Amino acid sequence: MGVGFRTLAGKEILRFWKVSLQTLLAPLVSTLLYLVVFAQVMGQRPSPYGSSVSYASFLVPGLVMMSMLQNAFANSSSSLVQSKVTGNIVFVLLAPISEAEFLGAYVMASMVRGVLVGMVVWLTASFFFGVQLHALVWVLVFCLLATSLAGLLGVLAGIWAEKFDQMAAWQNFLILPLTFLSGAFYSIHALPGPWRTLSRFNPFFYAIDGFRYGLIGASDVAPMTSLIVVGSVTLALSWGTLVLLRSGWRLRP
């Protein structure tokens, strides 16, 4: 990757870092509220994986990954829509940067923000609940894959949306349902048959389930299955988004 990629990625990282109180601290507070409420209300409930794993330990990986996914999506989508609304997207498009570098820079910045949010939430939750770490490699793999997947979805939303309310529709009608119905708060084996089957078509479920395996060593499906699903969806989205960028759809007049 050339100078254009490094410059654009640096700009996008600096953009969210300058408002870190909003981009890093706010997700921490909201996630800890979820954790405290659920741990207090359902703390006596047996874990889906038996007595060896407390419900709080089961809950933490889902909340951490949920925060990463939502923030990675928000980073790329909000940046693109803001650039389109203010009109400065033209300066990025006129720069000597390829579509692959353009896409890579936005996704890279989303990954950085998502991973930073995940680290802050996980470290804070570990302080209060003593969360364990089972397999670091699986944790890192799913952190990178899941945040890149959400970042790609954010780029797609930013390409399609012309106004902030259109971007909010993606957040409210796609990202929130996918994250809340992904097994973050429950095991999908507790769902009735049709809902359990539907959950298996949700890529966020596999991201959370694989990440949970990396932290606590237990999951609803094999981590390799989750890796294949999340990796395949990420590759497909990368190709589709790159095709849209090269066509100039909703970006170039």
**Which pLDDT score is estimated for 26?**
85
Q: Closest by alpha carbon to 150, among 228, 240, 37, 233? A: 233
The DSSP call for residue 189 is G
Distance between CA atoms of residues 116 and 169, nearest Å: 25
Specify the DSSP class assigned to residue 217. S
Q: From first to last of the 253 residues of the chain, give the pLDDT tens digit.
A: 688 899 999 999 999 999 888 888 888 888 888 877 776 666 566 667 666 677 778 888 998 999 999 999 999 999 999 999 888 888 888 888 999 999 999 999 999 999 999 999 888 888 777 777 889 999 999 999 999 999 999 999 999 999 888 988 998 999 988 988 888 888 888 788 788 888 889 999 999 999 999 999 889 999 999 999 999 999 999 999 999 999 988 887 6
The whole-angstrom separation of Cα 186 and Cα 26 is 24
| Residue among 142, 141, 70, 137 at smallest CA distance from 110 | 70
Positive or negative: CA dihedral 215, 234, 71, 98: positive
d(CA 112, CA 142): 14
Q: Return all residues near 230 (Cβ < 8 A) that are at least 6 apart.
A: 142, 145, 146, 149, 203, 206, 207, 210
Is the C-alpha dihedral spanning 206, 59, 23, 124 positive or negative?
negative
- Residue ranges per structural domain of the chain: 3-41+52-247
- What is the pTM assigned to this prediction? 0.92
